Structure 1
Amino acid sequence: MFGLIGHLTSLEHAQAVAKELGYPEYADQGLDFWCSAPPQIVDEITVTSITGQKIQGRYVESCFLPEMLATRRIKAATRKILNAMAHAQKSGLKITALGGFSSIIFENFKLEQQFQQIRNIKLEFERFTTGNTHTAYIICRQVEQASQKLGIELSKATVAICGATGDIGSAVCRWLDKCTDVAEMLLIARDGERLLALQEELGRGKILSLEEALPQADIVVWVASMPKGVEIDASKLKQPCLLIDGGYPKNMATKLQHPGVYVLNGGIVEHSLDIEWKIMSIVNMDAPARQLFACFAESMLLEFEKLYTNFSWGRNQITVEKMELIGQMSVKHGFRPLLSFSS
C-alpha cells in the first residue's frame, strides 16, 4: 500500500477543508491549534493502471500550514512532517511521497541527520520518496510538448529556469541539456556558488538575475518559491511566452493574465482512468478524478512496480537516467503531462 503526505495551502483553506471532511473540531481553530494538531489519514485511495493492475493507498494530512514558516514556527513545521512520516510508517504504508513543502522542509533542515527516532518509531527512510524525479520529468515533457503546441521551436528558444540549483530545477537543467535541442538556458537562483557549480557541470547556461532573464526567455520554468515583494511584469515578457509554474501553491495563472503569456501548471499529471479518492477535489484540481501532483504519482508508480525504495532522495541527486526510468513507468501505467494552459 502506498501513501501520500500532503498539506493545505493556508489556514483559511485548512478550516474550510476540515469542515467539508467532517472535522468540526478543526474547522474554527486558529494557527496555534493547527501547530499542535496530529496527522490524520483522511482518504482511502484506489488507482487502476491501464495495464489493469489495481493498487490501494492512503492520504495522510500532515496539518502543516505555510503560515508556520511565515511566522517562524520552524519547530512546529518540522515536527509536522516527522510526525506524518511516523504515522505513515506505523500505518504500514510501504512507499510514501512527501508532497508540497513536506520534502522541502525535510531536505532544507536536514531532518534525516537530526531525527531518526520519533517517539517509539525508528524512521525507515527507504519507505519515503520526495517524488521530485517524476516531477522534474513531467515538467520537462511539458516544456517539450507545450512549446510545440504554441509553435515555439526549442532549437531556437531561450529557456529561463528560476530555481535552477534546487533539486527539481537542476534536474530540469540536466534534461534540457542532454535530451532536448534547446538553444539557450538562463540560470536563476539565489546561491551564486551553486549556480557556478551547476554551470560548470552543464558546460553551458548564462547566470542572470530574474530581471535580466525574463525579457529574454521564450519559456520560463518556475521551480522556486516566489520571494515576498517580487512581481513579474507580464508586459515585459516575450509573446508568445510559455510560463510553467512548478511551485506550490500555484498562483501564476491569476497573477499573469496577459495576451500572449501562456501559463501551465507545472508538475501536474493526468491519469487515463478515474482515481477513487476525494482529496484532489479539495486541492482544487480542474479534473480531480484524473489530475494530481506528479510527486504523488511517483509513489503510485513505485507501488505498481513494487519498487519499495526512496527513489527520489537527497538534494541534486536526480539523474537523466532516473528521469527516463520513472518516465517509462509513468507512460506504462497511463499518466501523461497536463497540457491545458491559461492565457
Structure 2
Amino acid sequence: MFGLIGHLTSLEHAQAVAQDLGFPEYADQGLDFWCSAPPQTVDHITVTSVTGQQIEGYYIESCFLPEMLATRRIKAAIRKILNAMAHAQKQGIQITALGGFSSIIFEEFDLQQNKQVRNVELDFDRFTTGNTHTAYIICRQVEEGATKLGIDLSKATVAVVGATGDIGSAVCRWLDKRTQSADLLLVARNQERLQNLQSELGRGKIVSLEEALPQADIVVWVASMPKGVEIDAATLKQPCLLIDGGYPKNLGTKIQAPGVYVMNGGIVEHSLDIDWKIMNIVNMDAPARQLFACFAEAMLLEFEKLHTSFSWGRNQITIEKMEQIGQASLKHGFRPLLSFVGG
C-alpha cells in the first residue's frame, strides 16, 4: 500500500474544490479554519503497471496551504505535515510520498527531530520526498526537449535556478556527468551553498538571475518565484527551453513569446489510466494519466517493494539513484511529459 500526501495551491483553490472532495463544510471557511483542520484521506487509488502488476494506495489531503507560510503561521504548517505523516502511518501505509511543499517544510524546519506525534512514533523509513524521481524526470525533459527544439545540449548554456536545492543540485550533477560540455549557470539565493556546489562539481558559473536568463539556451526553474519578479521574454534567447519545476506551475502563463517554449517540469504520463480523482483538481491536461513525479516515486517503490526512504535529506541524490528510479519508471510504464505549455 502506498500513500500520497499533498495540498492545494491556495485558500481560494481549497475552498473551490472542498465540495468536490466531499467536505462542503470547508468550502466557505477562512485560513484560520484550515490551520486547525485535520488531515483527511480523500481518494482511494488503483494503479496498474504495464507489467500487469496492480497496486493500491491513498491520497491524504494535509490541509496545508501556502498562505500559512506567507502569513507566518509556521507552527500550523509544521503541524499539518507531521499530522498527515502520522495519519498515513496509522493506516498501515508502507511508503508515502511528501508532495509539493510537504517535503520542503520537512527539510527546512528539520522535522526529523519531531518523531513523536501524539501517540504515533514516526517511522521515517515509510516516507520519501519523491525528489529523486522528480530530478530524473526533469533531466529527461531537458534532454528530450532540447532535441525537439534542435538545441545541441553538449554546446548549450543551461541555467539552473534554485541550483542548491535538493532537486536543483541533483539536476546539476546529472548535467555535469551526462553533458560535460554544456555550460552551467548556477543561480540561488544562498551564496555559501552555491560555492559549495560549484566546488563539488568542479565547474559552473555563479551568476544572478538577471545575468543568467539572457545567456541560457535552457532554463531549469526549480525555485519558488519570488513576489514581484517579472521575466522579460524579450531578453531570452530564441529558441529557449524553460522547464518549470516549481509548484504551482505558472511560467507558462507568465512567459509567452515566439521562440520561448515552456514545459511543465517534473510531470510524468502513465501508459494506462489510473483509477483516481485527485488529479482532476490540479489542472492536469490528462488527469487519468498525468501526475507529479514525486507521487509516482511512491508508486514505483510500491511496485518494486522498496519500502524505504529512497529520497531523504538535503542534497543526497546521486546519479546512481536517479538511474535506478529511472529504470523502474520505464519498466512500469511512466514517461516524462514532453508537450509544451499551450502547444
TM (norm. structure 1) is 0.99
Q: CA-atom RMSD, angstroms?
A: 0.7
Q: Which residue does 1:5 correspond to in 2?
A: 5
Q: Which residue does 1:57 correspond to in 2?
A: 57
Instruction: Please give the residue correspondences for 1:16-95 in structure 2 after superposition, counting only pairs within 5 Å.
Output: 16-95=16-95
- Partners of 1:159 and 1:182 within 8 A in 2: no
Q: Cα distance, 1:214 vs. partner?
A: 0.4
Q: Cα distance, 1:182 vs. partner?
A: 4.5
Q: Which residue does 1:107 correspond to in 2?
A: 107
Instruction: Please give the residue correspondences for 1:1-343 in structure 2 after superposition, counting only pairs within 5 Å.
Output: 1-113=1-113, 115-342=114-341
User: Per the alignment, in what secondary structure is the counterpart of residue 327 of structure 2?
Assistant: helix
- Partners of 1:41 and 1:58 within 8 A in 2: yes
Q: Cα distance, 1:159 vs. partner?
A: 0.2
User: Per the alignment, in what secondary structure is the counterpart of residue 160 of structure 2?
Assistant: strand
Q: Cα distance, 1:342 vs. partner?
A: 2.6
- Partners of 1:39 and 1:63 within 8 A in 2: yes
- Residues 121-163 of structure 1 deviation map (CA, whole Å, 9 limit, x = unaligned): 0000000000000000000000000110010110110000000
Q: Cα distance, 1:181 vs. partner?
A: 4.2
Q: Cα distance, 1:22 vs. partner?
A: 2.2
- Residues 72-128 of structure 1 deviation map (CA, whole Å, 9 limit, x = unaligned): 000000000000000000011100000000000000000102x11000000000000
Q: Distance in 2 between matches of 1:183 and 1:5?
A: 36
- Partners of 2:160 and 2:222 within 8 A in 1: yes
Percentage of matched positions with identical amino acids: 82
Q: Distance in 1 between matches of 2:22 and 2:306?
A: 35
Say how many residue pairs are matched. Answer: 342
State the AA in 1 paired with 2:154: S
Q: Distance in 2 between matches of 1:91 and 1:180?
A: 44
TM (norm. structure 2) is 0.99
- Partners of 2:160 and 2:219 within 8 A in 1: yes
Alignment gaps of 5+ in structure 1: none
Q: Distance in 2 between matches of 1:189 and 1:296?
A: 26
Q: Distance in 2 between matches of 1:23 and 1:182?
A: 53
